[in-house]
Amino acid sequence: HTTTSAVNKGRPVVPTQEGRSLDALHSIPVHKLRAQAAATEALTVPESYPHFTPFVENKKQYDEMYKRSIEDPNGFWGDIAKEFHWEKQWDEEHISYNFDVRKGPIHVEYFKGGLTNICYNALDRHVAAGHGDRVCFLWEGNDLDQDRKMTYGEVLEEVCQLANYLRSQGVQKGDAVSIYMPMVCELPIAMLACARIGAVHSVVFGGFSAEALAGRMEDCKAKVLITASGVMRGNKKIDLKAIADSAHTMAAKSGHTVPRVVVYENERAGGRAACSFTEGRDVWYAEAIAEQAKTCEVEWVEAEHPLFLLYTSGSTGKPKGVVHCTGGYMVYAHTTTKYVFNMQPGDTYWCTADCGWITGHTYLTYGPLLVGASQVVFEGVPTYPGPDRCWRVVDKYAVKQFYTAPTAIRSLMRAGDLYVKEHLRDSLRILGSVGEPINPEAWRWYHDIVGDGRCPIVDTWWQTETGGHMITPLPNAWAQKPGSATYPFFGVVPVLVDEKGNEVKGEGEGYLCIKQAWPATLRTVYGDHERYETNYFKPFPGYYFSGDGARRDKDGYIWITGRVDDVINVSGHRIGTAEVESALVAHAKCAEAAVVGYEHPIKGQGIYAYVTLMEGVEPTEDIRRELINTVRGIIGAFAAPDVIHWAPGLPKTRSGKIMRRVLRKIAAKQEDELGDVSTLADPHVVEQLVALRGH
């Protein structure tokens, strides 16, 4: 009976692990891809979608634009940027970057010399052009009877009021503001208010725990926290303010006291009466803005001024604060939104993502407003009160572009076609997918049933770090293959590299890297530029390394296979296995834990945790529950393990390294494909684990 001693709690997080030695990367699941590619012929020809005129009409036009975007990025992005208001024009040669660690520090710069403001461009610019009465937000609450419309003019006024309030609290250019809110209009409004005064927002998804919020507020030394009394998600009431309160206490204990907490009153989730309130520190949102003027002077910022921090999980260690800056991000968010969704000003668009993730930043708060669209902001969940909610909302507002995640598509698919068919959906023109690879079956259902075969699918591959779409179809411009993200967006040069870092040309598979900067490249990891370089630029010198594997087929189409590092993608939520492991070992009875992803029919990937208990502790149902609750408490409910596999021992090499490959195979019930296990210190561990697999 081999077990680990209590001293050896958890996987040590050694700094050098950050740079993922190549043998730590998973191999690319080539067999899966080949099968997929063989089963999916090019599906549709552009002519079969007659319902709109695309900005990019065909592959030839794309090729020309793409060529220019790569060969003359200064001119290509410069021309687009002219559509915006710049308080001061950028220099002609505005781009400079270094992606090669061997040549010095990694840096990226766009629109050098320019001064602008993204809030001005998202709101004031449209109002000044006479579109103040255009609907900006179509808010749809959790319950069917809750909705609210806000025009661009109204949103601008409220943004100004909040911006004035933040200024009155001493928030200055460059200061961080944490936002922990449900999907109410005030969430994107808070983000825009920060941007208006040059403050840096850090939105923390409302599903994160107090501890996760505390860590993030502390890391960026937030000056203000904007939160809400609570939120209803389906039938569940979530007491956001109580969580925010404990986060505040935790952050204070570790040395950072957030001086001011602004609380938005969400009446349906309890409202004031049910909400704790700390005099002197807390202020009600409505009262904070009530006295403020409805105009507010814009803070013009340098193009490279940081716009936001967004914490995201990596292979190891604490979540990283990904930093995006103003100018390049603004132009890229706008351009991708416009071309990928073929979006015209005034279009009614709906992205189901929460603003707590990058999709909600780029394709809810910023992109659609920069274009001037009217968009749905949805507080609830796609299956409440029934699995037809999405299609009901699509009809209610006549949504033209709909953007969601494969996990939602799969769960709605499972509910059955009837829920879809009882609604018209005739306003739909384009359907988007994001967050994880979409399986061809879900793709076809989305295309044939939801879109009635009339709407092209844009399967958009990108990441928190890339700020915007990187590899994606353009609607109607070329034939689609279900499951392939197809071709790179303008300015993006994806390459596949092998273990040695050599580019794989033509047909083949490899690690997905990006060869040159694009406008929304992440600029750094907040407070740790070295981690930025180590994580993204050292694995394959000369390239940005995405962490994904991919294959290029004979037609040049790119197929993403998923993460090759220790990051898993659960319902489109990105989770670091190391974070779940350290949460598990925080439980007193857990000696050691190893977490891997496994294929899950709805979530894409599920969380599979191998747990070794302390010497003498017998596994019980209670301990299983406690372990899961520990993870909920430390990270958030969405990171709760789906499977706990009791493990008397873990497969380790003689040097003590856990062989995760073996754990992934056992979780996948593919122990016949274990490969070489001769380097294991104790090969019997494998049989033992297989025997203990309780499912």
By beta-carbon proximity to ligand WT7, the closer residue of 230 and 473 is: 473
Within residues 343-372, the interface with ligand WT7 by CB under 6 A covers: 357-359
Over the window 241 to 280, marking each residue x when it contacts ligand WT7 by CB under 6 A and - when it does not, the resulting string is ----------------------------------------
Determine the interface stretch with ligand WT7 among 136-144, 375-383, 433-441, 503-511 (rule: CB under 6 A): 433-441
460 touches ligand WT7 by CB under 6 A: yes
Give how many residues touch ligand WT7 by CB under 6 A.
Answer: 24
Q: b vs e for 423-455, b when ≥16 Cβ sit within 10 Å of the residue's Cβ?
A: bebeebbbbbbbbbbbbbebbbbbbebbbeebb
Q: How many CB atoms lie within 10 A of CB 55?
A: 17
420: part of which helix (H) or strand (E)?
helix 418-421
Q: Which residues contact 358 (CB under 8 A, 6 or more apart)?
A: 310, 312, 462, 463, 464, 467
Please say which residue, 361 or 645, places its beta carbon nearer to ligand WT7.
361
Give the shortest CB-464-to-ligand WT7 separation in angstroms: 3
Residue 565 is a catalytic residue: yes
With respect to ligand WT7, which residue has the nearer C-beta, 143 or 528? 528
- Asked if 512 and 563 touch (Cβ cutoff 8 Å), the reply is no
Q: Of 436, 553, 579, 592, which one interacts with ligand WT7 (CB under 6 A)?
A: 436
Taking the C-alpha atoms of residue 572 and residue 327, their distance in angstroms, rounded to an integer, is: 28
Joined together, the tokens standing for residue 251 give 């952050």
Beta strand 176-180 with 224-228 is parallel
What secondary structure does DSSP assign to 300-338, as a single string? -EETTSEEEEEEE--SSSSPEEEEEEHHHHHHHHHHHHH
Instruction: Pick the binder of ligand WT7 from 40, 116, 292, 312 (CB under 6 A).
Output: 312
Q: Quick one: which of 270, 319, 437, 491 contacts ligand WT7 (CB under 6 A)?
A: 437
Query: Which lies closer to ligand WT7 via its Cβ, residue 491 or residue 651?
Result: 491
Structure tokens at 21: 């030695």
Closest to 434 measured CA to CA, from 453, 458, 450: 458
Contact 664, 597 (CB under 8 A): yes
Stretch that binds ligand WT7, among 298-306, 457-465, 518-526, 606-614 (CB under 6 A): 457-465
| CB nearer ligand WT7, residue 121 or residue 312 | 312
> Which x/- pattern, by CB under 6 A, does the window 27-66 give for ligand WT7?
----------------------------------------
Q: Which of 10, 328, 356, 435 binds ligand WT7 (CB under 6 A)?
A: 435
Residue 409: partners with Cβ closer than 8 Å, 6 or more residues away: 433, 438, 442, 445, 446, 450
Return the residue of 8, 463, 516, 688 that touches ligand WT7, per CB under 6 A: 463
Looking at the Cβ atoms of 151 and 521, the one nearer to ligand WT7 is 521
From candidates 76, 111, 461, 511, binder to ligand WT7 by CB under 6 A: 461
Binding mask 481-510 for ligand WT7 (x = CB under 6 A): ----x-------------------------
Q: Find the binding residues for ligand WT7 in span 552-611 (CB under 6 A).
A: 560, 562-563, 569, 574
Q: What single-letter DSSP state applies at residue 447?
A: I
DSSP class of residue 614 equals P
Q: Does 459 bind ligand WT7 (CB under 6 A)?
A: yes
Binding of residue 547 to ligand WT7 (CB under 6 A) = yes
- Chain center to CA of 34: 28
Q: Smallest distance, Å, CB 220 to ligand WT7?
A: 18
Question: Cβ closer to ligand WT7: 241 or 552?
Answer: 552
Binding map of ligand WT7 across residues 389-428, x = CB under 6 A, - = no contact: ----------------------------------------
> Catalytic: which of 124, 175, 565, 566?
565
Q: Which stretch binds ligand WT7 (CB under 6 A): 54-62, 141-149, 280-288, 430-438?
A: 430-438
Nearer to ligand WT7, 389 or 563 (CB): 563
Looking at residue 23, the DSSP 8-state letter turns out to be G
Please calculate the CA angle 198-201-202 and round it to the nearest 5 degrees.
160
Output the smallest distance, CB 545 to ligand WT7, in A.
11
User: How far apart are alpha carbons 431 and 603 in whole angstroms?
Assistant: 20
HSE-CB for 18 with a 13 A CA cutoff: 20
CB closer to ligand WT7, 492 vs 623: 492
The answer to whether residue 514 forms part of the interface with ligand WT7 (CB under 6 A) is no
Residue type, position 203, single letter? V
Sorted by sequence, the CB contacts under 8 Å of residue 404 that are 6+ apart come out as 351, 352, 353, 382, 390, 432, 433, 434
> Is the CB of residue 460 less than 8 Å from the CB of residue 39?
no
Instruction: Using CB under 6 A, pick the residue from 548, 553, 566, 579 that binds ligand WT7.
Output: 548
- Among 4-12, 243-251, 454-462, 652-660, the segment contacting ligand WT7 (CB under 6 A): 454-462
**Which of residues 132 and 319 has its CB atom nearest to ligand WT7 in the complex?**
319
Q: Where are any strands of DSSP class E within 78-131?
A: 96-98, 107-109, 115-116
Q: What is the DSSP letter of 488?
A: B
Binding site for ligand WT7 (CB under 6 A): 312, 357-359, 433-437, 459-464, 485, 546-548, 560, 562-563, 569, 574
The catalytic residues are: 565
